[in-house]
Structure 1
Amino acid sequence: MALLVGTTQGLGINIVTANLPAIQGSLGATPTEGAWLLAAYYATSISLSALLVKFRFQFGLHLFADLGLMLFIVVTAAHLFADDLRSAVALRAAQGVAAAPLTSLAIVYMMNAWPESRRPTAVAFGMACSQIGVPLARVISPDLLQIGDWHGLYLLELGLAIICLAGVNLFRLPPAPRIMKFEWGDALSFALFAPGLGLLAVALSMGRYVWWTEAPWIGVCLALSLPLIGAAIIVELHRQRPLLDLRWLSSGEMIRLFIAIILFRIALSEQTVGAVGMLQTLGVQNEQLATLYWIELAAMLAGFTWIGLTLKPARPLTPLMFALLLIIAAAWTDAHATNLTRPAQLYVTQGMMAFAGAFFLPPAMLYGVSQAMARSQAHFVSFVMLFSAGQNLGGLIGSAFLGTFVTMREKFHSNQLTQGLTLADPQVAARVRQLAGAYAHTLSDARLRNAEGLALLQQQATREAYVLAYNDAFLLIAALATLTLVWILVLRLRIYVWRRRQARTAAQAA
């Protein structure tokens, strides 16, 4: 059941991300308009975690699972009748709400499938159930598109959701204590948090498409999101029983955990934005990427299995450092790509990235859960919100940051490459004539043939500029991962020194 529910949730957003060009074509939308499908999903899903966990504690797991899956089925079925962009964006926003309960449901099922002594294994495998949707969506989607364009993508998802609903009623989870209740103050806090985080998610999702300084509404979204989030924080700090324990979340260890989650998500965007984006720029289609995604899926499952069987909650930093070393090595190797690079040249490095991604999630989540449950269930709700927000914001920041960086570096390299291209150069003139020769049998006008040759040369220069820009992005990811590794090493050294002092103080007292 954990695998079934987690896979259904993972396919929800990733199957759209993997097939965005095809979906845009079906809806008659431009790339910028199609990006709203992703922005709408994140805008609604990013702020629901804390509210859903509290709902689960008050009304029980069974009602939580049934309502979540029924809403998911209704929204997924509605996608089959959406034929225009506006209705598709509205349904993607609803899908963000419907899919939010399924991640925690997969983890809860997995934790009940293992004994208490194997909780690290259960957490790791529960996270794996949701993460395998990333490569799996790209593997299966080319065949699904043949069924009925973008509607075909949702036929499988709808079937999985119906099976999930039957499954959760056949294999019910044991009842959990219901000790938390909603308060009127929760509604006010959520009414401030939700639009604040939603506007921030929209700005991060759309900024690189409409460009940050050319669309005034991006600034409006950012200008409104910060006061809303600030007002929600003020309300929470003055509540006797807040929805989120912000004083604990603002402690040093929780802030460091939040920063680590965001940094890791930015580094892992090398795989989803960097490598895939470069290959698509070079003309590689999803069908040609199937083997690469199978390798990523296998590496991810191997990583989750390894970390699940070896993770020690007392030492969460060790697997994080190992993951960072893999990311550094993979990004540095990818930074030497050329216009001849194809999926086969990325099998090893992208497998390393997928393996490293599996090493990051379970230690971070297990550490936070252990810290929260040692205090109270209210702290658990707060940590779930922190972890979910860090995951989503980290992914959005990583995509926005890396996509913006690639665009800027492409303009730089394109300027460097084209400023020396002049027909007065014999080599350039010969190259233009060579490219124009492809039109010798279709165009009799020599000037038109030369114009076509110049256009082809410009396309080649742009392609080279993009490859160089992606190489710069890979180097940047390697540098960021190196700085993160140094930071974690310093943290570990400080912990080691603190423990030595504590042991020395205890020995002196004895």
Structure 2
Amino acid sequence: MSDTAANPPATPVSHPPLPVPAALAYMGAAVVLALSQGLGQGFVSTNIPQIAGDLGITTTQASWLMAAYMIPRASLPLMLIKIRTQFGLRRFAEIGIVAYVAVAFASVWISDFRSAVVVQVLSGAAAAPLSTLAFMYMLEPLSPQWKMRLGLPMAMAVLMAGPTLARVVSPALIGDGGLTWIHLTALGMAMVSLMLVFRLPLRPVPHMKVIQPLDFLSFALIAFGFSGITIGFVMGPIHYWGDAAWIGTLMAASTGALAITVAIELNRATPLLDIRWLASPAILHLTATLFLFRLILSEQSTGAPRMFQVLGIAPSQMTGLFAIITLASVLGGLACVAWIRPQRVPAFHFIALMLIATGAFMDSQATIDTRPAQMVVSQALIGFAGMLFMPPAMMAGLISALAKGPQYLLSFVIVFIATQALGGVIGSGAFTSFINHRQAAHYQTLIEQVSATDTLSTQSIAARAAGLAPQIGDIAARNAQAASLIAQDATSQAYVMAYNDAYLLTALIAVLAAAALSLHVARDRMAARMTPAQTYSSDVKS
């Protein structure tokens, strides 16, 4: 083994910046790659009911498609770092994009549930490299000082905007209810990405033989652990957790697999993941911050869309709301470009947390009459806050990794992507579980109130029945329909109250996180002030 392979250089390979026309071409390619990945993921999560109808299955079965897509998205990036390092960027990019096009082409022809599950697993695996490629193409043409300031925020903005943008374009693509144009759009984006990758090759970096046989065992255990957690948090809320014993068994087995992985990696000279570095206080603090933030962002991805679905709002009526959220995210990225600096990371995080708290508190005032237009401001604040938070957080991790060497830098990027994918699934599952629990409690309270005020209930049923008189002639059927409508109203009211509880909890968590951040910054400043004084005191004594 050469000295270079045994001891990689302390700094990553740096290419000179490209001319402006070429730089714009590479950055445009990054946008297309990021949107291809984001739209592909968003098309699945947004259109679960339509997919179920198209395949002739239940929505519970269709939810397996989302789990199948997210499983490789959460685990495969952990292995991509070594694959890319050993076989080179260009081969990595070309093989990855060809696989993505092949899977997109296959998705056009799926016609049954089993083939759909297989295609979604392959689609998630093929999409996993696209996030990395989007970062690389955005950073490729820039000088070192602009990679963090411009490249990182813009790559994050486009990657985060993709799933939301899918909600904007899906109703127009679905049209009469078919998914053909959804699949064709994904295929078209994939083919454009293929052309761009081959027309705009990434500049080469030195290859190193880094893949070891034990890496495959560690990766298999990590993949199983992440897969079990993904399936558990996707299917758990649907099966109400305790009603399906297999979910608990799977989660326990997944935890055990990850524990075995940690034991293996701690005893390796060249581990797949440097557990000791990832378990250092600074990285643990950063990871916890990222994970917490990903959880509270579930208020936007899981909260408002599903609440409006419960209230009977069609997806086409929500396109304006999600278009504004997408725009707010992009504006957040531009704000990072203008003001991002390493020393300003805590300030960015504090502002983002307070914006999320404000937006979530505004959402907690929702009623059954709330419509998307009334949540535009609050959801725009949360979308803007998401982009104020993520690039500075990632920059802090990258700076920490750079100090250790290129292998830590690339590992952090991959772990960051995997953590966000897993955190999104856990956040969505936890948010949905909380909603289900609170809805059942509120519904029980509402039913008890109706029973306790029998006179008012009778009057309400009579009023509803009178309104139904022109449509239903039979008195008994009219009263039964009126009672059914009142029960439906109680269900809708209970759901809205449950979502309000979740929004309020999100606001509270954001405020507590902002308070903890303030205390942490104050402690660091006090420590910085005390350190020179202590040094001077010890010098005097000596």
What is the TM-score with the length of structure 2 in the denominator? Answer: 0.91
Q: 2:133 aligns with which of 105, 109, 122?
A: 105
Structure 1 residue aligned with 2:369: 340
For the structure 1 residues 427 and 182, does the alpha-carbon distance in structure 2 shift closer, same or farther, using more than 3 Å as the test? Answer: same
**8 A Cα contact 1:5 1:164, kept in partner:** yes
For the structure 1 residues 461 and 498, does the alpha-carbon distance in structure 2 shift closer, same or farther, using more than 3 Å as the test? Answer: same
**Partner deviation per Cα, 1:199-236 (whole Å, 9 max, x = no partner):** 11110111000110000110111111011111111111
- Within 5 A, what are the aligned runs for 1:440-455? 440-455=469-484
Superposition deviation, residue 499 in structure 1: 2.0
Q: Do structure 1's residue 419 and structure 2's residue 448 form an aligned pair?
A: yes
Structure 2 Cα separation of the partners of residues 254 and 213 of structure 1: 34
Superposition deviation, residue 26 in structure 1: 0.9
Q: 2:93 aligns with which of 18, 41, 65?
A: 65
Structure 2 Cα separation of the partners of residues 101 and 407 of structure 1: 35
Q: 1:310 aligns with which of 329, 336, 339?
A: 339
Q: Say which SS state the counterpart of residue 420 (structure 1) adopts.
A: helix
Structure 2 residue aligned with 1:133: 162
Structure 2 Cα separation of the partners of residues 96 and 505 of structure 1: 54
Of the structure 1 ranges 251-260 and 373-382, higher mean CA displacement relative to structure 2 is found in 373-382
Structure 2 residue aligned with 1:215: 244
Q: 1:15 aligns with which of 43, 66, 89?
A: 43
**8 A Cα contact 1:47 1:385, kept in partner:** no
Of the structure 1 ranges 295-304 and 361-370, higher mean CA displacement relative to structure 2 is found in 361-370
For the structure 1 residues 434 and 361, does the alpha-carbon distance in structure 2 shift closer, same or farther, using more than 3 Å as the test? Answer: same
Of the structure 1 ranges 425-434 and 56-65, higher mean CA displacement relative to structure 2 is found in 425-434
Q: Do structure 1's residue 322 and structure 2's residue 348 form an aligned pair?
A: no
Structure 2 residue aligned with 1:153: 182
Superposition deviation, residue 453 in structure 1: 0.7
**8 A Cα contact 2:73 2:418, kept in partner:** no
- Within 5 A, what are the aligned runs for 1:75-474? 75-120=103-148, 121-146=150-175, 149-422=178-451, 425-474=454-503
- Within 5 A, what are the aligned runs for 1:42-61? 42-61=70-89
Structure 2 Cα separation of the partners of residues 5 and 137 of structure 1: 14
Give the letter aligned to residue 415 of structure 2: L
Structure 1 Cα separation of the partners of residues 349 and 336 of structure 2: 11
Superposition deviation, residue 436 in structure 1: 2.2
Structure 1 gap segments, 5+ residues each: none
Superposition deviation, residue 369 in structure 1: 1.3
**8 A Cα contact 2:89 2:204, kept in partner:** yes
Structure 1 Cα separation of the partners of residues 452 and 412 of structure 2: 62
Superposition deviation, residue 420 in structure 1: 2.5
Structure 2 Cα separation of the partners of residues 30 and 408 of structure 1: 22
Of the structure 1 ranges 498-507 and 383-392, higher mean CA displacement relative to structure 2 is found in 498-507
Give the letter aligned to residue 399 of structure 2: S
Superposition deviation, residue 426 in structure 1: 3.1
For the structure 1 residues 183 and 445, does the alpha-carbon distance in structure 2 shift closer, same or farther, using more than 3 Å as the test? Answer: same
Structure 1 Cα separation of the partners of residues 533 and 326 of structure 2: 47
Structure 2 Cα separation of the partners of residues 437 and 204 of structure 1: 45
Of the structure 1 ranges 375-384 and 445-454, higher mean CA displacement relative to structure 2 is found in 375-384
**8 A Cα contact 1:79 1:151, kept in partner:** no
**Partner deviation per Cα, 1:118-166 (whole Å, 9 max, x = no partner):** 1222111111121121221011111211277123212111111111111
Structure 1 Cα separation of the partners of residues 355 and 57 of structure 2: 38
Structure 2 gap segments, 5+ residues each: 1-28
Structure 2 residue aligned with 1:480: 509
Give the letter aligned to residue 86 of structure 1: R
The percent identity for this pair of structures is: 36
Superposition deviation, residue 303 in structure 1: 0.3
Give the letter aligned to residue 277 of structure 2: W
Structure 1 residue aligned with 2:57: 29
Structure 2 Cα separation of the partners of residues 54 and 434 of structure 1: 69
Give the letter aligned to residue 137 of structure 1: A
For the structure 1 residues 484 and 180, does the alpha-carbon distance in structure 2 shift closer, same or farther, using more than 3 Å as the test? Answer: farther
For the structure 1 residues 230 and 119, does the alpha-carbon distance in structure 2 shift closer, same or farther, using more than 3 Å as the test? Answer: same
Give the letter aligned to residue 402 of structure 1: F
Structure 1 Cα separation of the partners of residues 242 and 196 of structure 2: 49
Structure 1 Cα separation of the partners of residues 315 and 437 of structure 2: 26
Structure 1 residue aligned with 2:3: none
Aligned residues: 510
Structure 2 Cα separation of the partners of residues 424 and 398 of structure 1: 39
**8 A Cα contact 1:258 1:386, kept in partner:** no
Structure 1 Cα separation of the partners of residues 259 and 455 of structure 2: 62
Give the letter aligned to residue 31 of structure 1: T
Superposition deviation, residue 506 in structure 1: 5.6
What is the TM-score with the length of structure 1 in the denominator? Answer: 0.97
Q: Say which SS state the counterpart of residue 64 (structure 1) adopts.
A: helix
Give the letter aligned to residue 155 of structure 2: G
Of the structure 1 ranges 493-502 and 155-164, higher mean CA displacement relative to structure 2 is found in 493-502
Structure 2 Cα separation of the partners of residues 277 and 267 of structure 1: 16
For the structure 1 residues 171 and 145, does the alpha-carbon distance in structure 2 shift closer, same or farther, using more than 3 Å as the test? Answer: same
Q: Say which SS state the counterpart of residue 82 (structure 1) adopts.
A: coil
Structure 2 residue aligned with 1:499: 528
Superposition deviation, residue 167 in structure 1: 0.8
For the structure 1 residues 423 and 194, does the alpha-carbon distance in structure 2 shift closer, same or farther, using more than 3 Å as the test? Answer: closer
Structure 2 Cα separation of the partners of residues 177 and 487 of structure 1: 43
Structure 1 Cα separation of the partners of residues 532 and 123 of structure 2: 52
Q: Say which SS state the counterpart of residue 206 (structure 2) adopts.
A: coil
Q: Say which SS state the counterpart of residue 132 (structure 1) adopts.
A: helix
Give the letter aligned to residue 443 of structure 1: I
Structure 1 residue aligned with 2:24: none
